[in-house]
Chains A and B, each alone.
Chain A
Amino acid sequence: DIQMTQSPSSLSASVGDRVTITCRASQSISSFLNWYQQKPGKAPKLLIYAASSLQSGVPSRFSGSGSGTDFTLTISSLQPEDFATYYCQQSYITPPITFGQGTRLEIK
């Protein structure tokens, strides 16, 4: 199975900050990497698919990059509604589909 490792596991930041979350795959997954945002008590929401494509309706302050084994999710200017947990997910070699362990983004 492909292991997905996110860093950091948690992060404190302020409104207006630029934030980067990293996801590393245990082997190459090309660009089959997706990012989700999850708020407490809610289902995950798709932000970025295929490593760098912005899902319709998602603000442009979110962006993704990378290929192979190393990927990043960047939020260019944090807004209050962005404080949540973020997950990466690989869909290259399946089954199984695997997720990172999550990055909790908290208000500083």
Chain B
Amino acid sequence: QVQLVQSGAEVKKPGASVKVSCKASGYTFTSYYMHWVRQAPGQGLEWMGIINPGGGSTKYAQKFQGRVTMTRDTSTSTVYMELSSLRSEDTAVYYCARTSYYDSSGYYDKWGQGTLVTVSS
């Protein structure tokens, strides 16, 4: 079955970086784009960016430009999201979610379980 399994919770100090992984299984890794969406405590969903696992191209939300890097490892069907210069406002649950490469409807039919990143001194 299709699964997106994310790495575990992280606690970081302000100014540090965090790298979250998302391992895909049960489908052709390169047939789906992977997005990262975050949710601060008690807040809504915020899109961070997208990576094409096939070619590795990325697009980021303007808010995170310069602080976020999304990469992939096709040998392990894993995508990564690294966020640098962390501040308290980055405390959130970070989700990976996929959209089909071949369907322009752009809906997320599968999500990871989420990774809580806590930024605290």
User: A interface, by DSSP: helix, strand, loop or mixed?
Assistant: loop
A23–B90 alpha-carbon span in the complex (Å): 27
A55–B103 alpha-carbon span in the complex (Å): 14
Interchain pairs with CB closer than 8 A, number: 62
Known: A44-B45, A87-B44. A94 touches B106 (CB 8 A): yes
* 23 A-B pairs whose Cβ atoms sit less than 8 Å apart in the complex: A32-B106, A34-B105, A34-B108, A36-B108, A43-B97, A43-B114, A44-B95, A44-B97, A49-B109, A50-B107, A87-B44, A89-B45, A89-B107, A89-B108, A91-B104, A91-B105, A92-B106, A94-B106, A95-B49, A97-B35, A97-B106, A99-B46, A102-B44
Chain B residues at the A interface, C-beta cutoff of 8 Å: 35, 44-47, 49-50, 59-62, 95, 97, 99, 104-109, 111-114
